[in-house]
A and B are shown apart, each in its own frame.
Chain A
Amino acid sequence: MIRERLNGSEILFRVVLSVLCAIIFLSIIYPLYFIVIASISDSTLVSTGKVLFMPKNISFFGYNQIFQDDRIWNGYRNTVFYTLAGTFVNLLITLPAAYVLSRREFRARRLIMVVFVITMFFNGGLIPTYLLMKDLHLTNTMWMFILPFCVNVFYLIIARTFFESSLPSELYEAAAIDGCSHFGFFVRIALPLSKALISVIGLYYLVGHWNDFFTGLIYIRDNKLQPLQIVLRDILLSNQVFQNGAGTGGAAGGYAQKYADQIKYGVIIVSTLPILVIYPFLQKYFEKGVLIGSVKG
């Protein structure tokens, strides 16, 4: 890197940048840090504001409770599988379609876009959808998590915009002269140039699958097929219902109540840690100049 001159404007810029970053960093990291200390502190102290910077009355009861539950491990296995398989199918269908819709010479693209965009707004409602899934024999199977709705129109539009704005049309023309078909161009040129895009869309889909609990809630009856989010929601809600516990006449209280929040915060950590690990791997594709660099290299 060329050593830069440090003029006044550059110094001011750096100061502003550093201060800005520091503020952003602290305002985001503190609440996250709070979750971590809350997950190992006494809940009563947490909710009365006694735990602000350091954990107090440390206990791992919450984590114990969470990991003791066999359903957690089963849920983990299901979710990992649904997420990987689902994301794979998503990309397999979305990317080629986005490429096609980005080609200005493709005459039907306007019509198809309208057809797609309409689905972002209108849907038949839950019951007709449920009936359809039942007729297709998808309910209560793992395919429910993978096949239906595997094209997200929003992501498709993002991908299309990306192809449009960053694949110069001269590139295809040049390739076509060399006898390259659309298939060949897409696989050999468009995809390798779009790693940043594939990682973004892939990540979006991935996280979507990871956090999906609605599918499990509505379409799945077999507990063995339930994803992690359903299991965690059950655990989470088991702490919320205390307020009804007394009302329904039983005072389901004291003992578990004390650790309610611990479990709540622990669940966050348990459910998000795996997906957090993925981001750094994808991050390198966002580095500056990946696209042009690879065209030249």
Chain B
Amino acid sequence: MKKTLSLVLTACLLTLLLAACSNNGGNQEPQKTGEDKGNASGAKVKLTAIITKHPLTKPLAEMEWLQKAEEAAGVDIEWQEITADWEQKKGTMLASGDTADLFVGPNVITDADFAQFQGLFQDLTELLPEAPNVQKMFDEKPETKIIATQPDGKIYGLPKYQRFWPASASRQYINQTWLDQLGLSMPTNWDELYDVLVAFKEKDANGNGDPNDEIPMDWPGGIGGFFNPAVLLGGLGITLTDGSGQGYFVEEGKVKNFLTDDRYKKMVVFLNKLYKAGLINPEVFTHDYTKFQSVARGEGDLAKVGFTWGWVASDRFGEQLAPQYTSMSPLKESAGYSGKVSWSYDFATLNYGVNQIVMSAKTKNKEAAMRFINELYKQEVSMQVLFGSLGTNIKDNGDGSYAVLPPADEKMDPGTWKWTSTWADNGPMYLPDSLDLALGKDMQEVLVQSEPLSDALAVDTASDVFPAMFIKYTTADNNTMSLNNTNVMNLANTNFAKWVTKGAVEAQWDEYVKQSKKAGLDQNIEIMQKYYDEYVSKK
């Protein structure tokens, strides 16, 4: 017994020594090569940077365009690549003042962080003259400068503009094959939708002999946000903004929240009617995203879901089933409804992004760091930030026009390919409206399937869209609002799920509205209205 134990201990010690040695070696090596490089190329400036990238994204060292961009800017960047738990890492890192020279990622450092960690980040306004490409974006798209500017006039983080994305993230799909098979016409309002869904359920719409395996309607699980049923509110004239995940929207210049709006109550009653009739996936509030997606992918040629929302048909239903589905126009509340019909207007959130790149105030060579930033905002580089390197991912037609190439790996869909090859939407970039770039198959599909929504999306952006991205709150207001929203959403989620599955919204509504106010809903609306008015008056 004793022998085995002491053997184990010695083994432990030995590995400890060995690994300690090899570790030392490992640590010293990169430094040395770094120095060598520095000597060889002369004036290359060493920088450190942190990037929050998509987990699919390949190592940065393998991105050809990035190597070229660093080369052109005369910098050599040591990247720390983060794919998960950035929030947790960030708090500690910033609070202890232990930063890198550059931060890259979607809202990688938030406005609240800038306010909280005063002096930690570099005000870029003084460096702007050295960055003509960034200046060009501010000139051509003045709203990008508004996005970037803090209440005190400083600019800490630079935005992106990627131009090609549609005005809404959610598209509405119905199974056209089922409609045809059952001889039904396309529903145009909620009541017709109800009848169609009943037929889907009762008449074995997919024709496999089992009348019980159809799921007439499905969504990811919440109220608002992308792909959730709040878009139905468009049929009552409400224009959601960026999905309105927490219910806020603007109507004729007034900030409101649909969670306590009578039109929302109407929708809940309707959804409850559907649920009672067994037309909604009974697992709608519990399934995770993987399951939500796989159910809609059916089995081979056999579709399972009748009516749902998604980004694009081929992603939502898989390549095999996508042809069965049609993207449809928004539904009116009833045949007699004569008001306007709207949808979720998400243009800002899909095409702009805040704080995509940020510089630390401690950066030793700020000019060099700014040179690199400027390089990223150059049209040709920005394009490659989004879609991947020229040659492998983008074709240069030679006449000043470009085309996005299909994936080199045939099994891969274009979306996955893009996220694998480059920073994609996570990077800082400016794609000018004048850029002549032919998009890939996936984006074309999105745009085609967005067409039925175009009438509803012709909204009045001046008075019916909440400009969330263009508003900067003070830290105190920000804290108040996020506390209130946590409470409001707790209440809303609970009740929404309960009302849809069990009913009784009519009886509990007044009490619920009172509770929501107590939870801080009115206070938030007041704050947002104040900022909104200020924004409108400045415009």
Contact = CB atoms under 8 A, between A and B. Distances in A.
B413 interface: yes
Nearest to B304: A48
B56 A131 contact: no
B412 A217 contact: no
Interface in B7-40: 9, 11-13, 15-16, 19-20, 23, 26
Given A88-B12, A223-B81, A260-B290, A254 B416 contact: yes
For B98, B310, B412, the residue with the greatest tally of chain A CB atoms inside 10 Å of its CB is B98
Interface string B84-97: 11001101100110
Contacts, number: 147
B315 A254 contact: yes
Contacts of B11: 84
A257 B297 CA distance: 11
Interface residues of B, number: 63
B404 interface: no
B415 A253 contact: yes
Contacts of A239: 55, 290
A81 B12 CA distance: 9
Nearest to A87: B12
Nearest to B417: A255
B487 interface: no
A221 interface: yes
Interface stretch (B193-201, B418-426, B474-482, B502-510): B418-426
Contacts of A9: none
Contacts of B83: 234, 237-238
Interface in A220-260: 221, 223-224, 233-235, 237-243, 245-257, 260
Highest count of chain A CB atoms <10 Å: which of B1, B9, B81, B314? B1
A252 B56 contact: yes
Given A234-B83, A252-B415, A243 B96 contact: no
B294 interface: yes
Contacts of B89: 217-218
A87 B89 CA distance: 26
A24 B260 CA distance: 50
Contacts of B5: 195, 198
A116 B516 CA distance: 45
Contact of B311 (A47, A237, A251): A251
A252 B416 contact: yes
Given A88-B13, A237-B55, A254-B416, A249 B165 contact: yes
A27 interface: no
B80 interface: yes
Given A81-B19, A88-B9, A44 B425 contact: no
B525 interface: no
A7 interface: no
Contacts of A256: 56, 412, 416
A242 B291 CA distance: 12
B234 interface: no
A193 to B, nearest CB: 11
A131 B96 contact: yes
B92 A251 contact: no
Given A81-B15, A192-B1, A248-B425, A254 B318 contact: yes
B195 to A, nearest CB: 28
A233 B54 contact: no
A127 B91 CA distance: 8
Interface in A134-190: 134, 139, 142
Interface string B157-190: 0000010010001000000000000000000000
B312 interface: yes
A127 B92 contact: yes
B294 A43 contact: yes
Contacts of B442: 251
Contacts of A248: 106, 425-426
Interface in B283-301: 289-291, 293-295, 297, 299
B84 A234 contact: yes
B538 interface: no
A112 interface: no
Contact of B96 (A130, A233, A249): A130
B419 A245 contact: yes
A254 B426 CA distance: 20
Contacts of B411: 255
A253 B92 contact: no
Interface string B456-493: 00000000000000000000000000000000000000
Contacts of B165: 249
B1 A294 contact: yes
Max chain A C-beta neighbours (<10 A), residue from B16, B88, B310, B446 = B16
Contacts of B2: 192
Nearest to A221: B80
B106 to A, nearest CB: 7
B15 A218 contact: no
Contacts of B20: 142
B416 A255 contact: yes
Contacts of A130: 92, 95-96, 98
B350 interface: yes
Among A44, A217, A218, A241, chain B packs the most CB atoms within 10 A around the CB of A44
A195 B299 CA distance: 56
25 contacts: A44-B294, A47-B290, A47-B295, A48-B299, A80-B15, A84-B15, A130-B95, A130-B98, A142-B20, A192-B2, A195-B1, A223-B81, A233-B85, A235-B55, A237-B84, A238-B54, A242-B289, A242-B293, A246-B169, A246-B312, A248-B425, A248-B426, A249-B425, A253-B311, A253-B415
Interface of A: 43-44, 47-48, 80-81, 84-85, 87-88, 126-127, 130-131, 134, 139, 142, 192, 195, 198, 217-218, 221, 223-224, 233-235, 237-243, 245-257, 260-261, 294
Give the 8 A-B residue pairs with the shortest CB-CB distance, closest first.
Answer: A238-B55, A246-B311, A243-B289, A251-B415, A253-B315, A44-B294, A81-B19, A254-B413
